[in-house]
Amino acid sequence: MAGRALLVVDPQNDFCPQGALGVPGGDEIMPLINELAPRFPIVVATQDWHPAGHASFASSHPGRRPLEVIELDGIPQVLWPDHCVAGTRGAEFHPGIDLRAARAVVRKGTDPRVDSYSAFRDNQREHPTGLAGLLRELGVTRVVIVGLATDYCAAFSARDALELGFVPEIWLPATRPVGAPPGHLERTLAELRQLGVVLREDLPEDR
């Protein structure tokens, strides 16, 4: 697997069942990721790390409810329950994930005015996280993406990886989707396929 990195997206408590923005079955993928990680020479994880009162939170917009979509500084923004607030238990990695071998942890969503689904840059596409430079320095050309959630942070990371010159793959069995609003997952996967992102439906037998 030379030249490949495993990108573990947001395996955090708030994205697992019982969390503030729980993804159905989110905790189920942790053992799979633990099995996959040793097979990659480079592992990087991301961590949503929002300040309190983040602009993506529905609570920051009186009268709005979670999953409503507004325009925020010129781009569409899904409003979410307060989640992954920096320093809280919800922002911590799920206890079932083993990231001791991770080369780096990239924290994102730290700007109070701009959400950041992608591991590579914020949703305004103006402020990079530094991940692309790190991967290039390490000789990575192919990025295998797992984690939470398929239709948001994993998908945005794959799009940006492609645009930034990497070959992205999403290994779907080691992800789980938010699945909202209705039809969003299906539209997202269709768009990724059209762009040329590899969507792997199974995991390698030698994992």
Residue 80 lies in a domain: no
Question: What confidence tens digit (pLDDT) does each residue in 63-105 have?
Answer: 999 999 999 999 999 999 999 999 999 999 999 999 999 999 9
Residue with the two structure tokens 């591991």: 119
Number of domains in the chain: 1
Query: Model-level pTM?
Result: 0.96
Q: Which domain holds residue 90?
A: 4-51+86-200
CATH number at residue 131: 3.40.50.850
* b/e per residue 106-117 (b: at least 16 CB within 10 A): bbbbbbeebbbb
pLDDT number for residue 1: 55
Nearest CA to 143 among 104, 97, 190, 198? 198
Based on the residue annotation, tell me whether 82 is a catalytic residue of this protein.
no
Catalytic residue among 14, 108, 115, 151: 108
Catalytic residue among 10, 27, 82, 115: 10
Residue 66 lies in a domain: no
Based on the residue annotation, tell me whether 84 is a catalytic residue of this protein.
no
- Using a 10 angstrom Cβ sphere, with 0-12 exposed, 13-18 middle and 19 or more buried, the burial of residue 51 is middle
Question: What confidence tens digit (pLDDT) does each residue in 29-45 have?
Answer: 999 999 999 999 999 99
Based on the residue annotation, tell me whether 111 is a catalytic residue of this protein.
no
